[in-house]
Structure 1
Amino acid sequence: MGAEETGLFGPDSVTWRVHSDPVLFLGGLRALFLQALHPLAMAGVAQHSQFQADPWGRLIRTAEYVGTVTYGSLSQAQAIGAVVRRAHRGLTGVEPETGQSYRVTDPELLLWVHNCEVDSFLDTARRSGMRLRPDEADAYLAEQVRAARLVGVPEAMVPDSVAALADYFARMRPVIRCTAAARRTARFLLFPPMPTPVQLFTPARPAWAALAALSYSLLPDWARRGYGLTGLPGTELTATALARSLRLVLMALPTSLRQGPHYRAAQARIASVCDRTA
């Protein structure tokens, strides 16, 4: 079977294993909280995205991107990566609190977004109970270098191991700051707009708030300090226990409910190729 059918990673990759886990959405929300702490990256989102005007559409498009890059064919992954690069091209701005200018295509900013994402996916998976050996965690980050290249980050810049990723975040701690835009985003993630009937007649509002609060609690202590809300003693242990409990519940669901459409489409595509070559 060729690279076109298996895509960037393939069914035997650690990426497929991590990204197919039902708690991945917790990692996605954690990544958004973390990404917002970089003033220039946050300014780019605030000034050039539709996140505030169309939050649910933005989240759906982000999930579509991750799903296509993870499970799509090679040409599908490359095509959606090209769409993102075109969307970023020429976008510039000024971070209002410091007056510092930025380019959305700056590899350093793209690297921050990438590293927040992969750190959040990996950390959430492991803390919620997925058994990954240290070498498998390193393999996941090495695989994800391909995803970073897809949006324009030079390979040499991308951490490809747990130790390298930890070193990166240690270097970035003096950079992070909770700007007004970051605080608005955090509030938005915790309490997004919902149609009135949904708020009044369904448990969507408290359920979302609980999941978003859990995602926030899964942040590393230095990131929660960045927001000024570290939580009570034992926050990390409590968040880990809750994430494990949630994963146990989700893993008890039927496979058809746990597997996303991109994963099922990839399985069908690869099975079709195997049938033709059998």
Structure 2
Amino acid sequence: MSEPRMLADRGWPFDPTRRREDQGFFGPGSPTWKVWTHPTALLGFQRAVTLEHFDPFLTAAVADARGIYQDPRGRLDGTLSYFLIVAVGDTRTAIETSDLLMRVHTKATGIEPISGQRYSANSPESQLWIHVTGWHSVLKCYEMFGPGPLSPAEETRYWAECAIAAELQTCRPADVPRSRAEVRAYFAAVRPRLCVSEPALEGMHYLLRTPGGKGRLPLWAASRAMAPATISTLPKWMRRLGDFDQPGALDRVVAPLARAAVRVTAAPRAELAVVGRLLPATHAVLDQHFHGAPPVRAETLTPTQARERHGARAH
């Protein structure tokens, strides 16, 4: 099936055949474009979706829906392509995709079994955990296995852009970290409510080493190849709590191997070849970014301006 047909069948508003209207929210030269389109984003994404399961309310949502177990490729592809559309897509597509995702998440409600409290995938607290772990994880892997740390000015801008991207979700603006120090403070503040359960452990281990099955061989292989490097980026307490710790010797061995693999796939053509076998929607977004026609207008917009221009609803 072609990428446009596959995306249309899933109801995804991204159309790789449509010329981009603008340069999105961040534009050329932004650290967001640089970090999110680097091959290390795959490692960062595996890290982020694993971390999400430390939030008991998100774990309950994943466990009740069972989506990642029934269609792991589709669910992971949809999530990463959403992040990437917000990072590098044009503003119309980003707003439309965000609105679609919010509508889908409206149905994801239920009771979290440990606390007995109601969960909602659209709650500001859960959306903030998803957002911060995503942006932090992708930067962490870029620093460890890619080109290295951003310059101080780039890092300041990266976290400012992270806060802009959060406007497309239900996050409360005042809660969104805007610096590395604020990210650390956020993680320290939420740590007391993080925990694991049988469903959480199931989800973490499934995402780190996805089982095989029909059509899953690329995901089976890639998840296992990436897992040691992904685990090496996490603090020991998380690794022990999630029961996926590994020896420090393996951490030391895997780091240069991961950096070598990243260098091999650093060129867009090589990166697209890898992503295309794993995540077709993500491949379509990246391919348009690298090879698509220039946008109609060489401008960036804020989320507020984009909603006003495109007539999308405000959150």
> TM-score scaled by structure 1?
0.86
Question: 1:113-153: per-residue Cα shift (whole Å, max 9, x none)?
Answer: 11110110010000113231233223212101122110121
Match of 2:239 among 224, 241, 254: 224
Give, in angstroms, the shift of residue 239 of structure 1.
4.5
Question: 2-side partners of 1:236 and 1:194: how far apart?
Answer: 25
Q: Give the counterpart letter for 1:217 in structure 2.
A: S
Match of 1:44 among 54, 61, 65: 61
Is 2:270 the partner of 1:257?
A: yes
Question: 1-side partners of 2:295 and 2:109: how far apart?
Answer: 44
Partner of 2:224: 209
Q: Give the counterpart letter for 2:269 in structure 1.
A: S
Question: 2-side partners of 1:197 and 1:35: how far apart?
Answer: 25
Is 2:44 the partner of 1:27?
A: yes
Give the gaps of 5 or more residues in structure 1: none
Partner of 1:104: 121
Match of 2:96 among 76, 79, 86: 79
Question: 1-side partners of 2:75 and 2:235: how far apart?
Answer: 25
Give, in angstroms, the shift of residue 206 of structure 1.
4.8
SS of residue paired to 1:7: coil
Question: 1-side partners of 2:73 and 2:28: how far apart?
Answer: 29
Runs of 4+ in structure 1 off by over 6 angstroms are none
Partner of 2:294: 270
Give, in angstroms, the shift of residue 48 of structure 1.
3.2
Partner of 1:168: 186
Question: 2-side partners of 1:271 and 1:70: how far apart?
Answer: 15
* CA gap 1:261/1:206 in 2 versus in 1, 3 angstroms: closer
Question: 1:47-72: per-residue Cα shift (whole Å, max 9, x none)?
Answer: 23511111111111112212221221
Give, in angstroms, the shift of residue 100 of structure 1.
2.6
Question: 1-side partners of 2:151 and 2:113: how far apart?
Answer: 43
Give, in angstroms, the shift of residue 236 of structure 1.
4.7
* CA gap 1:197/1:130 in 2 versus in 1, 3 angstroms: closer
> TM-score scaled by structure 2?
0.76
Q: Where does 1:141-156 land on structure 2 (aligned, <5 Å)?
A: 141-156=159-174
Moved more, 10-19 or 239-248: 239-248
Work out whether residues 34 and 219 of structure 1, in 8 Å CA contact, stay in contact via their aligned partners in 2.
no
* CA gap 1:117/1:98 in 2 versus in 1, 3 angstroms: same
Match of 1:246 among 258, 261, 278: 261
SS of residue paired to 1:240: helix
SS of residue paired to 1:51: helix
Question: 2-side partners of 1:44 and 1:204: how far apart?
Answer: 23
Question: 2-side partners of 1:72 and 1:129: how far apart?
Answer: 22
Q: Where does 1:3-14 land on structure 2 (aligned, <5 Å)?
A: 5-14=22-31
Question: 2-side partners of 1:50 and 1:197: how far apart?
Answer: 16
Moved more, 184-193 or 20-29: 184-193
Partner of 1:128: 145
Question: 2-side partners of 1:176 and 1:8: how far apart?
Answer: 32
Question: 1-side partners of 2:255 and 2:178: how far apart?
Answer: 25
Identity of aligned residues (%): 31
* CA gap 1:150/1:271 in 2 versus in 1, 3 angstroms: closer
